[in-house]
Amino acid sequence: MEKSGKQLPAFTLKDLAANERSFPSGRNALLCFVKEDCPTCGLTMPLIEAACRAFGTKLDVWAIGQDAEGNRKLVESNRLSVPMLDDSALSVSFACGIEIVPTIVLAAPDGAELRRLEGFDRAEWRNLLAELARISGLAVPGIDWESYPAQRPGCGSKSVEPDVAERLEAAARGHRLTARRIEIGAQDEFEFMFERGLTDGLPVVPPTPERVARMLTGTRRDPQEIVAVLPPNLAPASVEKLAANAVMAGCRSEYFPVVLAAIEAIAAPEFNIHGVMATTWGATPVIIVNGPIRHRLGMNMGMMALGYGNRANATIGRAVKLALRNIGGARPGDIERSTFGAIGKFTTCFAEWEERSPWEPLHVERGFAREESVVTVFGLEAGSRQIADQHSRTAHALCASFALGLEACWHPKQHLSGEVLLVVSPEHADTIARDKWSKAQVRERIQQASARPLRELLPDQECGEGMPLKTFGLENPTPEQLAHRVPKFRRPEDINIIVAGGEAGKFSAIFAGWLSGPTGSISVSRRVEEVP
Amino acid sequence: MQIVDPTDERVPIRRSLAKRPGTPVGSIALLDISKPRGDVLMNRLEERLKERLPGVEIRRYRKPTFARPAPEDLRRRIAEENGFVIEALAD
């Protein structure tokens, strides 16, 4: 017989006489997992009893019952002498990976698993008793094998029943959860979350240990690993704390790797999340998801992509914001001090419709492989505006409309701006694709069509906002200098372009920038680590 | 219900009230905190409770001193043996 090498967990359980039995004891052991209401367990009990009577002096033969009341019944109805250990807490069944009862596990003196029988199989049992005889040097007991069927399937172990499995998983993972626990008591749990100031103004899902444990199944990362240090409090954000906030946001565990990647991205120093949250301008992390995970999570990249109604879009962005609030301490009116705020501050997250785009997707442009899943965060205005152009039939004409729309970002007289995000709709993408324009050509045309003579950008009595001469290092400009056309954006590549939105509608959308560049926020991409 | 604290844990937890059970059943602990005349108050309290709640058992406990919190084992014993506790002082 081959030794499997798998080490079984050490445990101590009490028998019906309240004597403690500890495994491994230094002897071979036959661990027989049973439950009273399983007919195949009833069928097997006399064989377990026979094994105990024949070999019990040399090795530990134990029945391990999953139901305290049923254990007693099993012993009484079968007049058993085999020790019946109480695993009604199911922790040993769970730790040993028992999915079926009866499961018979033969273990070496050091606790390594040698053999496992699930359900009932007459031939396997005959082999098992022969093996026990060999190990113990004792005789095989006489069994009337003809009275046993060849095979019988077992029943489901209580430890894998849906609610129970979840509780046990939480308990097992709970050993690695270190966050403070809070008793809600007799209050309504949803009201409790509001009262403690943990929500963004909408109800949140209470992050019970079970739910947090379930969220953690979405990642292989250790719950205590610090993913980021979140401002303004510069608080360490562990995987566990982030999981609690993802639960509150309503995420499924499959979304959690995207949340983790987004948190890593916003915490990059160049993103300057403190500034994005604290600015009186209404900025927020705008989260774009690329790669295969978009489809696996059922993210919306089509009709209503920027709007509401999709769970992944809505909750991933919300989880990031709740983490900033609860872990980082960025609360509205406190450190978060936007003059107006914006609906997009609840959550702004959507996917690029890569398959509908004539260009390379955003993440490929930024150096990732197409088959990688990537999150990109931008520090932009917390809400999009739309540009209508239902008449342009050429890329040249349409991109001029984009330019005119983009020129209004921040202020029309403020040029040399930083990053913006242009979300091109499928119909507009088709117009551009017909002329086979690259993204570089789109950017060049936007820069060209939005450029204005310097004289039009100077603050004056008609409009006090604008760009003072000193911005350009000029005191007494020449007519030629005043006629020089200043582009809207410092660099063409600051115009980020993706494709998303419904098939119908000759509109595109803009997310205007906040302060961009080294003194403001620079967009950041991070690869999503998926659980295979 | 218990939740995992989703914050950075800078703010202390405010305890919330246990569920109010309505009519008392089982046993009620009367904890005398050892102030002078505490027994007078507790005796009267026990008398009145027995009149109003004849089916309920009253168990008496006493703290070693009113100047310190009840010892851990006394608190645990009260919790194990009773569904309710009335803690009182006197003077």
DSSP H or E run through A100: strand A100-101
Alpha carbons A450 and A488: distance in angstroms, whole number: 6
pLDDT of residue A108: 95
Alpha carbons A227 and A232: distance in angstroms, whole number: 16
Amino acid at position A287, single letter: I
DSSP summary character for residue B19: P
* DSSP-based three-state secondary structure for A77: helix
Domain layout of chain A by residue ranges: 11-160, 189-459+468-527
Alpha carbons A151 and B57: distance in angstroms, whole number: 56
Degrees, nearest 5: CA angle A230-A324-A171:
90
Smallest CA–CA distance, residue B11 to chain A, in Å, is 10
Q: What tens digit of pLDDT does each residue of A95-118 get?
A: 999 999 999 999 999 999 999 999
Smallest CA–CA distance, residue A143 to chain B, in Å, is 49
Confidence of residue A4 (pLDDT cuts 50, 70, 90): low
* B4/A208 touch (CB, cutoff 8 Å), yes or no: yes
pLDDT of residue A118: 94
Evaluate the omega torsion of the peptide bond into residue A232 and state whether it is cis, within 30 degrees of 0: yes
pLDDT of residue A34: 96
Bridge partners of A15, per DSSP, are A85
**Averaged over A381-403, what is the pLDDT?**
96
Report residue A3 CA to chain centroid gap: 38
Lowest mean pLDDT among A19-28, A156-165, A286-295, B11-20: B11-20
Q: Helix/strand/coil (H, E, C) string of A167-193?
A: HHHHHHHHCCCCCCEEECCCCCHHHHH
Alpha carbons A87 and A21: distance in angstroms, whole number: 12
pLDDT of residue A174: 59
Q: Which of residues 150-209 of A touch B (CB under 8 A)?
A: 177, 179-187, 189, 192, 196, 198, 206-209
Burial of A26 by CB count in 10 Å (0-12 exposed, 13-18 middle, 19+ buried)?
exposed
Q: Does residue B16 have a pLDDT over 80?
A: no
| Tokens 């109805």 belong to residue | A77
User: How many inter-chain contacts (A to B, CB under 8 Å) are there?
Assistant: 82
B→A contacts (Cβ < 8 Å), by residue, are 1-10, 13-20
Bridge partners of A497, per DSSP, are A422
**Averaged over A457-482, what is the pLDDT?**
94
Torsion of CA A427, A432, A434, A439, to 10 degrees: -130
* B16/A187 touch (CB, cutoff 8 Å), yes or no: yes
Average pLDDT value for chain A: 93
pLDDT of residue A519: 77
Identify the CATH assignment for A11-160 out of 3.40.30.10, 3.40.50.300, 3.40.228.10, 3.30.70.270: 3.40.30.10
Confidence of residue A335 (pLDDT cuts 50, 70, 90): confident
* A244/B4 touch (CB, cutoff 8 Å), yes or no: yes
Q: Does residue A358 have a pLDDT over 70?
A: yes
DSSP summary character for residue A332: B
Percent of chain A at pLDDT above 90? 83
Alpha carbons A469 and A162: distance in angstroms, whole number: 70
* B4/A212 touch (CB, cutoff 8 Å), yes or no: yes
Q: Does residue A398 have a pLDDT over 60?
A: yes
Torsion of CA A166, A172, A174, A177, to 10 degrees: -120
Q: Name the token pair of A79.
A: 């007049």
Alpha-helical segments (H) within A217-255? 239-249
Confidence of residue A78 (pLDDT cuts 50, 70, 90): confident
Q: Does residue A3 have a pLDDT over 50?
A: no
Q: What tens digit of pLDDT does each residue of A223-246 get?
A: 999 999 998 888 999 999 999 999
Percent of chain A at pLDDT above 70? 97
Confidence (pTM): 0.71
Confidence of residue A280 (pLDDT cuts 50, 70, 90): confident
Confidence of residue A1 (pLDDT cuts 50, 70, 90): very low
Q: Does residue A18 have a pLDDT over 60?
A: yes
Q: Is-contact A75 A36, C-beta < 8 A?
A: no
By Cβ distance, the residue of B2, B6, B20 closest to A183 is B2
Confidence of residue A2 (pLDDT cuts 50, 70, 90): very low
Q: What tens digit of pLDDT does each residue of B46-73 get?
A: 999 999 999 999 999 998 877 666 788 9
**Averaged over B2-23, what is the pLDDT?**
81
Q: Does residue B13 have a pLDDT over 70?
A: no
